[in-house]
Structure 1
Amino acid sequence: MNHNTQPEIVAEGDPSAGRKYLLPFILVVSLFFLWGMAHNLDSILIPHLRKACNLNNRQSTLVDFAVFFAYFLMAIPAGMILKKWGYKATMIAGLLAFAFGAFLFVPAANNLSYITFLIALFIIGCGLTMLETSANPYAAVLGDPAKATSRLNLAASFNGLAAMIAPVIGGMFILSGKSHTEAELAAMTEVNRNNYFLEEAAAVKTPYITLGVILVVIAVIFYFIHLPEIKTKSIDGEAKGSFFGALRHKHLKWAVIAQFFYVGAQVCVTSFFIRMAEQGGGFDEKTAASYLAIYGLLFTLGRFAGTALLQFVSSNKLLTIYAVVSVLLCLVAILGQGAYVVYALGGLGFFMSIMFPTIFALGIEGIGDDTKPGSSWLIMSIVGGAILPFGMGTLIDLYGDDIQIGYTIPLVCFLFVLYFGIRGYKIAHK
């Protein structure tokens, strides 16, 4: 790295803005919570729309594909928008796109159109990409650089809080607890069958209308509240980071790879959690949703515990330990029987909790002018959440709806995270 381009963090128009970072940080934390709600409601939507739209496992994972493929396609434009508009305007645009996608759930449900649901989810994904591309680096640089990983983990803890709340809301307002076998559906009259599908689909309308309204209100608040615009400035002048040039940082490249597999693993675990609890644990749909909420609680506790532990343990070491435990828990999920399988998945919630923000912070550490484009690469890598669950659903279908065999995919993913924690995070000094 060129030593003449080391970054200093400056706030536009206010060199003493360090004292004013608390309110901006709180507002940014609210974004972590909101996109956490979106992602964790997807874990409810997958089994729900599988019923409402009469889908197989592979088709149901298109919910994940629509959202996370949007991350892939939108990552570069989001980075360009961030560079041109700045953090605040990018966050507002992300909130409004997110809201528009949420409102599209109404016509999708009214017409029982899976394609419309997927379009709505794709638009939500575009909004989330803008939010994450801007909010993750903003939280990381909003204060003392030495505490960037801890600060990002603290913000991400509220993303984890959503992982606990979303399944509760989904279990109460979206999941009906009703399910029919193919034989039972075939025995129904066409009118009764269509009414059943429409009734199931309609359950999503109220939660997503409410979410859309909240998003618009928060966008208005962001518009009227002052946020310091954080810039990375080099000693020689303005930041000159470039998208492809950012990849000259070897540890950033490994972070992108690790993030691809981590996000894929997390989405795989949560997308099939309810089906695993039903098939492996013998629980009904509502009980399975309550266990998903417990998973979310453990995820949240893991985030807060991880933030505390990072005061005493280096981030790469903690990441390595958590990755090893995650591999072992995957083995229990694959080879175990009964409720222990579900307990293993709950444990994964705790040990996955710090992975995304820790990989992110380690990936952008020391890259100076390339922080914004580096952030775009790390957000683009979230496409793992589109590709790997689709592969998992395909594997499950190939093995006669055996959910457990599908968990070999997240196991392999955690091995890549493990490598990053051991070696990939290291900055190559020139």
Structure 2
Amino acid sequence: MPAPITTASTAGGQQPTVGGYRSALTLLASLFFMWGFITVINGTLLPHLRSVFELTYFQASLIESVWFIAYFFASIPSAKFIERFGYQTSMVTGLLIMAAGAAGMTLAASLPSYGVTLVMLFVIASGITLLQVAANPYVAVIGAPETASSRLNLVQAMNSAGTMLAPLFGAYLILGRSKGGTAETGTVLSQAERLADAQSVILPYALVAVVLVVLAVVIARFPLPAIGLATNRVAKDERKKHSLFKHRNLMFGMGAIFIYLIAEIGVGNLFVNFVSRPDIGNMTTEQAGRYLTLLWGGMMIGRFAGSAIMQRVAAETVLAVFSVLAFLVMIITVFTTGEVAMWSLIAVGLFHSIMFPTIFTLGIKGLGPLTEEGSGLLIMSIAGGALVFVQGWLADEYGLQQSFLLTAICELYILFYALWGSKTTNALPDQRPV
């Protein structure tokens, strides 16, 4: 864990201890867990909604696109909100926005309404965006710059723990309690059965809303170490002297996150439909939802391992190796069938694991007083997940299995970023908590 920085101060004006930073990072890990959990519920929600509303792959992918469009619109306002109100208030606000959206999902299920579902998913994603813009740079700068990637991978492992448990939660409380989730592939549901299935979303999202409100109260009352309060005016003046566009690692990092999200979300969204196919796993969507846990579990294991590896090996080297391995398993997924194709798709979770946190820390490296704005741009790039509809279109036009070639191409850009795009230019002094 990072050593205390003597110039840091908590909201109450006390100097934080090593244990204080440790406690803060432990609490922040719960935020990473919750937004990972909620994001991946979509992996089981999408096949469920596809059944309820009789959607094509393209229409189902648009649901995820709305989710990630929120990152595009909410990221810069989130960065401005953090500058004005601070990290802690921003985290609490983000949690409450998410809780409001989760509560709204119960309304959407009661109607049921496809339109209201889209609106509420946008609200939840906007709250997550505020959390992402606040929590990622907070974790990255709270300790030594040279271990930022290792530290962020460690707390992102809790994000993966959330993504690992969410499919079980969704498979049991959404797919397992619905006719569409337990029926054989290709079963046609009656109107009454589809309406009954829609109600299965109410309980899980009500539970999520309650947990988010409780977490918001805990965060609000916790003495998180403050960052940058003493020199906020100086930082603002300093920012005017520099340009974000002169930092190659940030500019190409935005592209790397944008493209990586197309790969990650495409795999997560289409996993259940792919694995349940007769020529792949030959199982129900409920059973396939349980295998999705292994995909996200691989991401958790990979992040813990990546955090340890990056204590000794340069982050960009680890990123390059993982991108090559991700490319190889996606090629296997496309050109094989049966259990080989299924397990190769599951394996990509392990190799995707370190990509987001590593790209993020490489992207903000050397930004100095521009770190907050750079963070906002990187989080905005998560909007790349909105282009998952492209893979949905490819699945409709050329076949679900062939659509994963898009994922393989995405891995090649990550390799380019690791080898060249991540190199810093015009680096500024790293900012530390003050």
Instruction: Output the CA distance in 2 between the equivalents of 1:8 and 1:232.
Output: 14
Alignment map for 1:212-361 (pairs within 5 Å): 212-231=209-228, 237-239=234-236, 240-241=238-239, 245-279=243-277, 280-361=280-361
Instruction: Output the CA distance in 1 between the equivalents of 2:382 and 2:235.
Output: 29
Q: Can you give the 5+ residue segments of structure 2 that lack an aligned partner in the other structure?
A: 428-434
- For the pair 1:420 / 2:413, whether they are aligned, the reply is no
Deviation at 1:242, TM superposition (A): 6.2
- The structure-2 alpha-carbon separation of the partners of 1:43 and 1:73, relative to structure 1 and needing over 3 Å to count, comes to same
- The structure-2 alpha-carbon separation of the partners of 1:83 and 1:47, relative to structure 1 and needing over 3 Å to count, comes to same
- The structure-2 alpha-carbon separation of the partners of 1:242 and 1:274, relative to structure 1 and needing over 3 Å to count, comes to farther
Q: Can you give the 5+ residue segments of structure 1 that lack an aligned partner in the other structure?
A: 1-6, 186-192
Instruction: Output the CA distance in 2 between the equivalents of 1:147 and 1:23.
Output: 18
Counterpart in the other structure of 2:380: 380
- The structure-2 alpha-carbon separation of the partners of 1:341 and 1:233, relative to structure 1 and needing over 3 Å to count, comes to farther
- The structure-2 alpha-carbon separation of the partners of 1:149 and 1:200, relative to structure 1 and needing over 3 Å to count, comes to same
CA contact (8 A) 1:41 1:167 kept: yes
- The structure-2 alpha-carbon separation of the partners of 1:235 and 1:403, relative to structure 1 and needing over 3 Å to count, comes to closer
What amino acid sits opposite 2:15 in the alignment? S
- Indicate the larger mover: 376-385 or 295-304: 295-304
What amino acid sits opposite 1:416 in the alignment? Y
Instruction: Output the CA distance in 2 between the equivalents of 1:178 and 1:344.
Output: 25
Deviation at 1:8, TM superposition (A): 11
Deviation at 1:9, TM superposition (A): 7.1
Counterpart in the other structure of 1:113: 113
Structure 1 counterpart SS, 2:401: helix
Aligned with residue 401 of structure 2, among 398, 404, 410? 404
Counterpart in the other structure of 2:365: 365
How many pairs does the alignment contain? 414
Instruction: Output the CA distance in 2 between the equivalents of 1:243 and 1:179.
Output: 62
Deviation at 1:117, TM superposition (A): 0.7
Instruction: Output the CA distance in 1 between the equivalents of 2:35 and 2:426.
Output: 35
- For the pair 1:178 / 2:182, whether they are aligned, the reply is yes
RMSD: 2.2
Counterpart in the other structure of 2:200: 203
What amino acid sits opposite 2:168 in the alignment? V
Instruction: Output the CA distance in 1 between the equivalents of 2:64 and 2:79.
Output: 22
Instruction: Output the CA distance in 2 between the equivalents of 1:162 and 1:184.
Output: 32
TM-score w.r.t. length of structure 1: 0.92
Deviation at 1:18, TM superposition (A): 4.7
| 1:77-106: CA deviation from partner (whole Å, max 9, x where unpaired) | 011101111100110110000000000111
What amino acid sits opposite 1:391 in the alignment? V
CA contact (8 A) 2:261 2:382 kept: yes
Which consecutive aligned stretches of 4+ in structure 1 deviate over 4 angstroms post-superposition?
12-15, 180-183, 232-236
Counterpart in the other structure of 1:4: none
| 1:31-88: CA deviation from partner (whole Å, max 9, x where unpaired) | 0000000111011111111001110001101221121100001011011101111100
Instruction: Output the CA distance in 2 between the equivalents of 1:37 and 1:244.
Output: 37
CA contact (8 A) 2:182 2:284 kept: no
What amino acid sits opposite 1:248 in the alignment? K
Instruction: Output the CA distance in 2 between the equivalents of 1:242 and 1:174.
Output: 50
- For the pair 1:393 / 2:392, whether they are aligned, the reply is yes
Deviation at 1:16, TM superposition (A): 3.4
- The structure-2 alpha-carbon separation of the partners of 1:14 and 1:146, relative to structure 1 and needing over 3 Å to count, comes to farther
What amino acid sits opposite 1:394 in the alignment? W
- The structure-2 alpha-carbon separation of the partners of 1:253 and 1:62, relative to structure 1 and needing over 3 Å to count, comes to same
What amino acid sits opposite 1:38 in the alignment? I
TM-score w.r.t. length of structure 2: 0.91
Instruction: Output the CA distance in 1 between the equivalents of 2:263 and 2:187.
Output: 33
- Percent identity, please: 35
